[in-house]
């Protein structure tokens, strides 16, 4: 670890990279929360909730639509 910290001390503005990483993580997390709770996904989640219980992976409600 001393070798890595020695090289990192030589880089100017090395404290800038953790800030960028935090910003990217926060934007991704906020985007996932927005996508999860938007109202247009309700039909998608309703259809997906029964997939784990299907034996062949085909949802009966999707067969009725065809």
Q: What is the pLDDT along the chain (66 residues), one digit of tens a residue?
A: 566 666 666 666 667 788 888 899 999 999 999 988 887 778 877 888 877 777 665 555 655 555
Range of 9's domain? 2-54
- Residue 59 resides in a domain: no
Copy the structure tokens of residue 51. 């997939």
- pTM metric for this prediction: 0.49
- Residue 65 resides in a domain: no
Q: How many helices (H) and strands (E) does the chain have?
A: 4, 0
- Residue 30 resides in a domain: yes
Copy the structure tokens of residue 66. 């065809």
């Amino acid at each position: 670890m001393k070798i890595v910290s020695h090289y990192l001390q030589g880089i100017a503005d090395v404290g800038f990279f953790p800030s960028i990483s935090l910003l990217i993580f926060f934007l991704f997390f906020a985007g996932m929360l927005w996508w999860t709770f938007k109202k247009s996904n309700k039909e998608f989640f309703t259809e997906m909730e029964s997939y784990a219980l299907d034996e062949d992976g085909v949802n009966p409600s999707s067969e009725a639509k065809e």
